[in-house]
A and B are shown apart, each in its own frame.
Chain A
Amino acid sequence: MSYPKKVELPLTNYNQINLNKKKLLVLYEDMLLGRNFEDMCAQMYYKGKMFGFVHLYNGQEAVSTGVIKLLDSTDYVCSTYRDHVHALSKGVPSQNVMAELFGKETGCSKGRGGSMHIFSAPHNFLGGFAFIAEGIPIATGAAFQSIYRQQVLKEPAELRVTACFFGDGTTNNGQFFECLNMAVLWKLPIIFVVENNQWAIGMAHHRSSSIPEIHKKAEAFGLPGVEVDGMDVLAVRQVAEKAVKRARQGQGPTLIEALTYRFRGHSLADPDELRSRQEKEAWVARDPIKKLKKYILDNKIADLNELNDIQSAVKIDLQKSVEFAMSSPEPNILELKRYLFADN
């Protein structure tokens, strides 16, 4: 089965990109960390070190990096079950995410959450939601809270922004529409980021959505809807920058549709039989990491040695994360019922 419709990616105007070397290398490193982390997860999963549903992010790195690396530490991120890389981009240490996947006490959720439920209060990382669209109202609530803090509690002068990630399949769920409506109604500082990877498990996007151009749905609710090449981190960053600015200034939400592709199946349990080889190859050729690497080298921003050093450092970091996770203790069996209630 091949995808019948050729997906045209919007063009990026690189003349507008004004990022210094340091920032560009941060983006490169973050994408590499995401990719290598997920590859390590696959290895560990097949070795039986992690279990259950594990959904990998390979191929979509430009979206996480392009949006989240623009945010402040006090801004919020809300994710889905495909959440490892969003957490890493937000600054949750890889060792704590890895340990969580191993079900260890040192995990960011002390082994109680697992792959689909990564939380980190210090990083304002709100989870990790395993149901389609479940995270959207939660993220909208965090954005509501930003407005409330400013207007009722008179706390920070600047609005905290929430980035809410979800997939193309989610945009057919009612909670997506419910929240677009409320976010515009109350001018909430939120960015709805649709990672349109074209497939909801085995349901091709065009088979499930009456208007497959998701960004066009924004118009019905009165917010800007933009389409972007989700395989190009600089392009994603460019549109995200506008959206963050808009949110931060109290002008309300933005819907970003990032056209992207997952290089692996829906989860590690997915035989991935419905996507054609031809289609996969076409998207793998647009690998966002290779694209940024080429941009950096072509523009002589850094040389290959520097990029290789970053790659090596990422691999060492991940090796350490695996060792950390392996050597960490499991949760104490006597603490099965701990964390059920907060003590006032």
Chain B
Amino acid sequence: MAHVGRALAAAASPRSPALASMRSLLAPPATAAARPAASASAATAAARSQARAASTITCREALNSAIDEEMEREDKVFVIGEEVAEYNGAYKVTKGLLAKYGGRRVVDTPITEAGFTGLATGSAFAGLRPICEFMTFNFSMQAIDHIVNSAAKTLYMSGGKIKVPIVFRGPNGAAAGVGAQHSQDFSAWYGSVPGLKVISPYDAEDCRGLLKAAVRDDNPVVFLENELMYNQQFEVSDQVMDKDFTLPIGKAKVMLEGSDVTIVTHSKQVGVALQAAAELEEKHEVFAEVINLRSIRPLDTATVCESVKKTSRLVTAEEGWPAFGVGAELCASIFETDAFNYLDAPVQRVTGADVPTPYAENLEKDAFPVQADIVSACLRAVDATLA
């Protein structure tokens, strides 16, 4: 096993393209034999990893191509938001779309969050399929009334008569050096709202498959991207690049199989968790299973519970605040099911610090989970069992 661990560790630099190749390391027969029996979802993951890697793309390219293809497929799909058209997107996610589809379908708005978010939502009431971009999700606070009250509740309040097929998307979570108001994870906020679907992708495959699924969904979807992942490159198969490639909303993905502890996480922290798993294996002979939630709502508690029954230990990792967070919800989902009976150690939550994001570099660094935090949490879980 050690050689696999070293290979994983070598590949594991947070901003290294080599991180993407980790998935292919799950496949070799030696690994499978040494590791516990593959679950169905892990087998699927392994099968997918064996597909020939056709290309390497960034998350930004994955999102851009997903929007482009969905606009090409369906004329009712349009993009609206600040700087999405002539500027090609504040983070260039909508690059080239204005040139291809024109200003009627790629709509630059005034800086008017409540106004354009409500406008997009109203156009969805009347049958269009808007993709509403927030320059960052922090700005969605000025429009949250329309996301929660107008978009999420209307199908229900109208007795099933008025559908609201809209995607709210943009960068979410901790950014770098931008202070408290521009650096925050909204997963838990939107994850608590009935009537919303909430997606938090990790890699290029997630970005493509889940964004395309979101645009095709007849319900309001909050799609939480991560600014620090936009430039990350990942290998993707031909299948992922297919125009009709979608991933199921509400289904988690086992990124790495393991027998000793389950790490459940989402977005950028999936990469951190994979590195932590490599370190645990190499230095501590602890085999962690890493689950990428992909969706915050619906939350795939079945996959988490199945994993916990296997490993008997749970560590959650997220950038969001601890109180009432994704980790807290995962804990409850374990406590309320028979998976609770399988726990051999207290659950460990790794979260963002319970403070507004600080500006100073050292404080900011300390405010969000790093590899060492996840490694320590896993070791605490394992040690608690041994004690």
- Chain A positions within 8 Å of B, measured between CB atoms, are 76, 78, 107-113, 117, 119-121, 124, 126-131, 134, 136-142, 144-146, 148, 151-153, 174-175, 178-179, 181-182, 185, 338-344
Contacts and interface: CB of A to CB of B under 8 A. Distances in A.
A139 B110 CA distance: 17
Interface string B128-168: 10000000000000000110011000111111111101000
B156 A134 contact: no
9 contacts: A119-B159, A128-B157, A134-B149, A137-B114, A141-B118, A141-B124, A145-B127, A339-B160, A344-B218
Contacts of A179: 115, 118-119
A112 B157 contact: yes
Nearest to A147: B104
B69 interface: no
A340 B146 contact: no
A21 to B, nearest CB: 35
A142 B126 contact: yes
B58 interface: no
A3 to B, nearest CB: 31
B134 to A, nearest CB: 15
A338 B122 CA distance: 22
A142 B123 contact: yes
Nearest to B124: A141
Contacts of A109: 157-159, 161
A164 to B, nearest CB: 10
A72 to B, nearest CB: 15
Contact of A138 (B122, B128, B160, B197): B122
B36 interface: no
Contacts of B197: 341
Interface of B: 75-76, 78, 104-105, 109-110, 112, 114-128, 145-146, 149-150, 154-163, 165, 194-195, 197, 216-219
Contacts of B216: 344
A145 B112 contact: no
B158 A141 contact: no
A210 to B, nearest CB: 21
B154 A182 contact: no
B107 to A, nearest CB: 8
Contacts of B76: 153
Closest 10 CB pairs of A and B: A141-B122, A137-B118, A110-B159, A178-B115, A138-B122, A119-B158, A339-B160, A342-B218, A141-B123, A145-B126
Contacts of B146: 134, 137-138
B109 to A, nearest CB: 7
A87 B303 CA distance: 46
Contacts of B122: 78, 126, 137-142, 144-145
Contacts of B218: 341-344
Contacts of A108: 159
A146 B125 CA distance: 12
Given A142-B126, A339-B156, A344 B217 contact: yes
Contacts of A107: 159
B154 A119 contact: yes
B110 A142 contact: no
Given A131-B149, A148-B104, A178 B112 contact: yes
Contacts of A76: 126
Nearest to A164: B122
A138 B146 CA distance: 9
Given A138-B150, A142-B123, A152-B104, 10 more contacts: A78-B122, A109-B161, A120-B161, A137-B116, A144-B123, A152-B105, A182-B116, A339-B155, A342-B163, A343-B218
Contacts of B195: 340-341
* Of listed A124, A138, A139, residue having the most chain B CB within 10 A: A138
Nearest to A338: B160
A181 B126 contact: no
Contact of A112 (B104, B145, B156): B156
A134 B217 contact: no
A340 B121 contact: no
Contacts of A145: 122-123, 126-128
A140 B115 CA distance: 9
A185 B145 CA distance: 24
B145 A340 contact: no
Given A179-B115, A341-B195, A127 B157 contact: yes
Nearest to A138: B122
A280 B156 CA distance: 39
A112 B121 CA distance: 20
A127 B158 CA distance: 8
A137 B121 contact: yes
Nearest to A105: B159
* Of listed A108, A113, A146, A343, residue having the most chain B CB within 10 A: A113
Contacts of A146: 126
A120 B154 CA distance: 11
Contacts of A153: 75-76
B300 to A, nearest CB: 16
Contact of B115 (A78, A148, A152, A182): A182
Contacts of A139: 122
B162 A121 contact: yes
Given A109-B159, A342-B160, A140 B118 contact: yes
Contacts of A110: 159-160
A182 B123 contact: no
Nearest to B165: A342
B159 A339 contact: yes
Contact of A141 (B112, B120, B155): B120
A113 B156 CA distance: 8
B119 A121 contact: no
B118 A175 contact: yes
Contact of A340 (B112, B114, B156): B156
Contacts of B114: 137, 174-175, 178
A44 to B, nearest CB: 20
